[in-house]
Structure 1
């Protein structure tokens, strides 16, 4: 297995990415190889500064970078030689089996859809986030930003994608899928949620448990929380702030410590034809390591083929 890592993406690249690659290398078995995509000279220099042999890695050299603020579609089209562009080329050709980056999220989404493309039957790919449960364990929230506007059939598919992700990556048994809403009652909500509810209620594709509210996100009402990407991104950013606020206030609490993004690594783009993971722009070496390991887990679990089978 070869796992591609964009070492030029992220606010602290390439140093954080290369240091994260070192930690990932330590956690990977010998037959799983990391392919570092980006400026080889800089990467080798960082490795040598940390007394790590460059021979532990493969390199695909490129110096072009898609900036965090660049327009995703234009950047992918105009910069095929960028680290993200090259990464997707290698993924499409099958040279690497997974690709991850802490770079421009929009470019990663566009690159996924233009290169490896969406799985037949999937209307729109989705991105996920992990939310901690108060009594232990975790939940999965999707979409968290890939699709600001959604239609009911898209949310229905998010339920399928989230359920399969929970089963095969986090070993959830028959995960409970809830529809994020402003009330538990079937007749509550906006036009989108009102139209989505009967679709989910009638499906046999996942274990639908009804509407869930924002206060249920950290409880036991559901395991998979489905919403449009506009709502999901607002919820995600609010949840991320909990961890930062407790740190700034000097509070030490096991539950709020689990809001730290680093142990989860990144957000997979579910619904495309290969494992793709997007890391937080501020990813630390620890987060980069876990982003790589999540990519590896997606390959080992054969998640993409399991999603394909669900959409046949």
Structure 2
């Protein structure tokens, strides 16, 4: 197993990514290798300075970085030696089994769709994230930003993608799927949700339980919450502030601690032909470590094969 990591991606890179990789390597098996993409000599130097054996990692020299404010498509094509472009080239060739970055989200989406490409049958990939449940565990929310505007058929597919992710990566048996809406009644909502509801209701590949209101997101009402990327991103950013606010107010609570993005590491792009994970721009070493471990879990679960079978 080879897990690709963009060392140059993120606000605190490369220090944060290198330290996170070192921590992740400690819990990986000997045949599970982390491939570091960035300035090779600089990466080796930082690992040695941390008192770690450089032979524990694999290296690919990719000295250029795609910054957060660069145009994704132009940057991918104009910077072939960037860590993101190199990462997707290796992923396409099968030389790494997954690729993760806390860098430019747009570049990661473009890179995924133009290199490993969308799984046949999938209209558009979606980005998924975790939402903590009040009692324990967490649900899956998607899409949270890949598709601001959606068609009903896309949300119907997001439900399948989210269900497979919940079942095979997190081990949830027959996950319940809810459609994010402004009311529990079938006829409630806007044109998108009203048109999506019957598609989900008739979808035999999912366990659809009806609409889910905002108050249901942090409960056991559903395991997978489906919405368009605009709505999902607003919910995600709001949820992220819960943890920050509790810290600022000096309020310590186990439930709100689970809103800490570091615990989940990153958000996978579901619907492409290989595991691709996007980390938060402000990822700490702990977040990078968990992003790498999520990559491992996605590879081990053979999750991509499950999607291909579902859409075949």
Using the size of structure 2 for normalisation, the TM-score is 0.99
Alignment match, 2:96: 96
- Distance, in Å, in 2 between the alignment partners of 1:191 and 1:78 is 40
1:256-271 alignment, distance < 5 Å: 256-271=256-271
3-state SS, counterpart of residue 292 of structure 1: helix
1:1-312 alignment, distance < 5 Å: 1-312=1-312
Give the C-alpha shift of residue 137 in structure 1: 1.3
3-state SS, counterpart of residue 306 of structure 1: helix
1:75-124 Cα offsets, whole Å, 9 max, x none, are 11111110000000000001101110000001000000000000000000
3-state SS, counterpart of residue 170 of structure 1: coil
- Distance, in Å, in 1 between the alignment partners of 2:63 and 2:35 is 15
- Distance, in Å, in 1 between the alignment partners of 2:310 and 2:176 is 17
- Distance, in Å, in 2 between the alignment partners of 1:22 and 1:231 is 36
Give the C-alpha shift of residue 5 in structure 1: 0.4
- Distance, in Å, in 2 between the alignment partners of 1:62 and 1:98 is 17
Give the C-alpha shift of residue 46 in structure 1: 1.3
3-state SS, counterpart of residue 135 of structure 2: coil
Give the C-alpha shift of residue 44 in structure 1: 1.5
1:165-187 Cα offsets, whole Å, 9 max, x none, are 00001110100000000000011
Q: Please, what is the CA RMSD of the aligned residues?
A: 0.6
Give the C-alpha shift of residue 294 in structure 1: 0.5
Give the C-alpha shift of residue 69 in structure 1: 1.1
- Distance, in Å, in 2 between the alignment partners of 1:130 and 1:25 is 24
- Distance, in Å, in 2 between the alignment partners of 1:304 and 1:246 is 37
- Distance, in Å, in 2 between the alignment partners of 1:16 and 1:169 is 26
3-state SS, counterpart of residue 169 of structure 2: helix
- Distance, in Å, in 1 between the alignment partners of 2:230 and 2:167 is 25
3-state SS, counterpart of residue 99 of structure 2: strand
3-state SS, counterpart of residue 230 of structure 1: helix
- Distance, in Å, in 2 between the alignment partners of 1:242 and 1:107 is 28
Give the C-alpha shift of residue 2 in structure 1: 0.7
Give the C-alpha shift of residue 14 in structure 1: 0.5
1:19-60 Cα offsets, whole Å, 9 max, x none, are 001001101000111110001122112112110111111110
3-state SS, counterpart of residue 278 of structure 2: strand
1:285-310 Cα offsets, whole Å, 9 max, x none, are 01001101101111100000000000
In the comparison of the two structures, how many residue pairs are matched? Answer: 312
1:178-215 Cα offsets, whole Å, 9 max, x none, are 00000000110000000000101111010000001011
- Distance, in Å, in 2 between the alignment partners of 1:137 and 1:99 is 26
- Distance, in Å, in 2 between the alignment partners of 1:132 and 1:221 is 12
